[in-house]
């Protein structure tokens, strides 16, 4: 019977093997450019095709970061999390 660590290690290995192929096929990455340059060109092309989609993606990312930040604040400030990990008396 597999434990959680073995399943996680198998998932990471499959993610490394198949994730790289999926990224290389999805984005037009050239060997002579970095990842940020390739991403910048892809975003520029997406913006030229449909500016509303890129704007909605940016708004969604900002909202996700704000929600995550609020969630962390709530867990730290409104629960006994700090006390349970020994950082507060």
Residue 61: per-residue pLDDT: 92
Per residue in 53-81, pLDDT (tens digit) is: 888 988 999 999 999 999 999 888 888 87
Tokens 């950082």 sit on residue: 87
- Same domain for 19 and 58: no
Structural domain range at position 31 = 1-49
- Same domain for 66 and 30: no
- Same domain for 40 and 14: yes
- Same domain for 18 and 57: no
DSSP 85: T
- Same domain for 44 and 8: yes
Prediction pTM value: 0.51
- Same domain for 16 and 1: yes
Residue 36 has pLDDT above 80, yes or no: no
Residue 28 has pLDDT above 80, yes or no: no
Structure tokens at 19: 């994730």
Q: Domain total for the chain? A: 2
Residue 12 has pLDDT above 90, yes or no: no
| 3-state percent helix, strand, coil for the chain, nearest multiple of 5 | 80, 0, 20
Mean pLDDT of all residues in the chain? 79
């Amino acid at each position: 019977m597999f434990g959680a660590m073995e399943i996680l290690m198998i998932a990471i290995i499959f993610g490394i093997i198949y994730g790289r192929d999926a990224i290389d096929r999805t984005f037009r990455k050239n060997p002579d450019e970095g990842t940020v340059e390739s991403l910048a060109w892809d975003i520029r092309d997406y913006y030229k095709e449909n500016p509303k989609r890129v704007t909605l993606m940016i708004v969604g990312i900002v909202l996700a970061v704000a929600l995550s930040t609020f969630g962390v604040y709530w867990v730290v400030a409104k629960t006994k999390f700090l006390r349970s990990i020994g950082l507060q008396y």
